[in-house]
Structure 1
Amino acid sequence: MFRNKFSAFLYIILGLAAIGLLTQLFTNTVDFLTNIMVMLGIGLAIFAVIYVFFFRKRASSNDMKKYKSAVKQSKSKYAPKNFTISDSAKRKQSSQIKRKTSKRATHLRVIDGNKHKRKNRAY
């Protein structure tokens, strides 16, 4: 019973608000739009202040230094390298036999396992 009365009251309030908005829109359009813009601006300003002070977590300065050094190292590692090759070097390179070079990833490391626990399969 209470729920039906509450929902009816809510519908009446929403209907009156809609009628008031439409009346303002058609009778005094410029002031209505000005009020809407001012309300949106104030709402955005309040949201920005709350976001800056409460939600944005700032990293400590030590973490930021580590991050910046890692970014700098990564950029220097993966930056395109431009080499200028002289004419004599080009001739030497073309005259030599090109060998297949195997590239190793420098960031991968071999982990030594339990070498002393190898199975003796010779017996």
Structure 2
Amino acid sequence: MIKKRRLSPFLLITLTLAILGLANTLFANPSQWVKNILLFIISAIIVYSLVYFFIIRKRHNKDELEKYRQAVKQSKMRQKKRQQSQISKVKPKRVNPLSKRKTTNPPHLRVIDGKKASKKRPMSL
């Protein structure tokens, strides 16, 4: 059974009064309404940025970030070393077409000899 979430009476009354106040300001003084909305948006952005920079940002451990950066550097160094060693090991080889034929894989099918000798010879006249 799914229960519908109901708003608490306090929240419902607060939202109703806020909507009525905004509607009243919109019809009575539209320029003041625009100023109020802009002021609300700007203050919300400021509060969010303050909370982010002073609380949320500090939650991320700086040591983890440093460890990650160190791991990335080590990984890049290892890749460079591998590439340099592979470049120095690679030597151009001449490929002989006859040896290329020899190294091919044998076929997976084989011929099974049947009973050829057991065939009866037809009668000759």
Q: TM over 0.5: same fold?
A: no
Larger Rg: 2
Short-chain TM bin: 0.3 to 0.5
TM-score by length of 1: 0.44
